[in-house]
């Protein structure tokens, strides 16, 4: 299956951002992509650099205007399209939500970000409620979304640091792991620290591919975004979007600084082959893992 990961710069013009995304998705479809992944919160600037209640005006319902536009695009192009939106679920209840639009334009499912960071420049706990541990129908919050191109284990940004999230998606039958992302450098850090951070980010996600025998798709932002109130350093998003195979091998990788339509061909049958020679699921000691449900083992 041919897949595409979209890496793009953003501005404060919401409509321009959307049109830019649409143009890049069209490019991906022209190159034969059947599954296209957009980056985290692709509709706007990364507004979580400050705690500003006016930013809640950016939120929208799901279904809503963006899912309608993305669904129409998916139907027109005959692709499965994964977007990332600031969801207003109810008054005072907001989520960082990824959406999946099917080839026929329908909303195949949503995933609400489970792990919410709170760090300088990434004040997401102010804006986002964590996703539900279980949906109303009893499914786990870590449930793949079934589509015509496979079961998508969709996770978002900070989720990518947690092996538990990737494992639970794999155990629930995910065929691929997908991570829409917005991560970058603090300009105050030196070059060595910047490189360590980026390398760690790449390594942990390649490890999820290896540990679960699944392909991984990662879409990150690129470009510099100033702090909205001009009090912070701003963030230079480090790009480096990539697609990895089930042994962590790079199938495609973007650079740090450029808008990119990253194309890769993913052989889903390789997961079966790899899991036969590295049967991690077979050898898991589930009888000995009870302490994983504790915050810390005192």
Q: Give per-residue pLDDT as tens, 175-227.
A: 999 999 999 998 889 999 999 999 999 999 999 999 999 999 999 999 999 98
Which of 34, 40, 124, 225 is flagged as catalytic? 40
Note the pLDDT of residue 187: 84
Per the annotation, the verdict on 40 as an active-site residue is: yes
Which of 48, 55, 157, 198 is flagged as catalytic? 157
pLDDT of 140 strictly over 90: no
Cα of first residue to Cα of last residue in the chain, in angstroms, is: 47
What tokens were used for 198? 């980026």
Residue 74 lies in a domain: yes
What whole-number distance in Å separates Cα of residue 212 and Cα of residue 53?
40
Residue 100's CATH number = 3.60.110.10
Per the annotation, the verdict on 113 as an active-site residue is: yes
Q: What would the pLDDT profile of 31-72 be if each residue is shown by its tens digit?
A: 999 999 999 999 999 999 999 999 999 999 999 999 999 999
Residue from 213, 217, 227 nearest 177 by CA: 217
Residue 190 lies in a domain: yes
Residue 293 lies in a domain: no
Residue 297 lies in a domain: no
Residue 296 lies in a domain: no
pLDDT of 108 strictly over 90: yes
Average pLDDT over residues 139-156: 96
Tell me the whole-structure pTM to 2 decimals.
Answer: 0.96
- Number of domains forming the structure of the chain: 1
Rounded to 5 degrees, what angle do the CA atoms 117, 122, 125 make? 45
- Cβ contacts of 68-72, under 8 Å, gap ≥ 24: 69/18, 69/22, 70/99, 70/101, 71/101, 71/102, 71/105, 71/106, 71/107, 72/105
What whole-number distance in Å separates Cα of residue 252 and Cα of residue 233?
31
Residue 26 lies in a domain: yes
75 lies in which domain range?
2-282
Average pLDDT over residues 114-133: 95
Note the pLDDT of residue 137: 80
Which of 48, 55, 102, 113 is flagged as catalytic? 113
26 pLDDT band (50/70/90 cuts)?
very high
Average pLDDT over residues 88-99: 97
């Amino acid at each position: 299956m041919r897949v595409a990961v979209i890496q793009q710069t953003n501005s404060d013009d919401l409509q321009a951002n959307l049109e830019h995304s649409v143009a890049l998705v069209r490019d991906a479809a022209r190159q034969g992509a059947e599954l296209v992944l957009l980056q985290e919160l692709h509709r706007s600037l990364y507004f979580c650099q400050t705690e500003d209640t006016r930013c809640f005006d950016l939120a929208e319902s799901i279904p809503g205007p963006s899912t309608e536009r993305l669904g129409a695009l998916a139907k027109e192009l005959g692709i499965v399209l994964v977007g990332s939106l600031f969801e207003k679920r109810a008054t005072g209840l907001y989520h960082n939500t990824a959406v999946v639009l099917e080839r026929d334009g329908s909303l195949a499912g949503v995933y609400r970000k489970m792990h919410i960071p709170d760090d300088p420049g990434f004040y997401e706990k102010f804006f986002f409620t964590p996703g539900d541990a279980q949906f109303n129908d009893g499914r786990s919050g870590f449930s793949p979304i079934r589509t015509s191109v496979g079961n998508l284990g969709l996770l978002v940004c900070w989720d990518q640091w947690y092996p538990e999230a990737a494992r639970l998606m794999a155990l629930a039958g995910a065929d691929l792991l997908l991570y829409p992302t917005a991560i970058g450098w603090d300009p105050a850090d030196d070059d060595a620290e910047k490189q360590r951070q980026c390398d760690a980010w790449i390594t942990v996600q390649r490890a999820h591919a290896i540990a679960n025998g699944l392909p991984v798709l990662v879409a990150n932002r690129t470009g510099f975004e100033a702090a909205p109130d001009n009090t912070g350093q701003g963030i230079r998003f480090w790009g480096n979007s990539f697609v990895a195979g089930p042994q962590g091998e790079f199938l495609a990788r973007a650079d740090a600084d450029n808008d990119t339509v990253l194309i890769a061909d993913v052989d889903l049958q390789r997961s079966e082959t790899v899991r036969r020679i590295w049967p991690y699921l077979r050898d898991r000691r589930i009888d000995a893992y009870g302490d994983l449900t504790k915050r810390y083992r005192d």
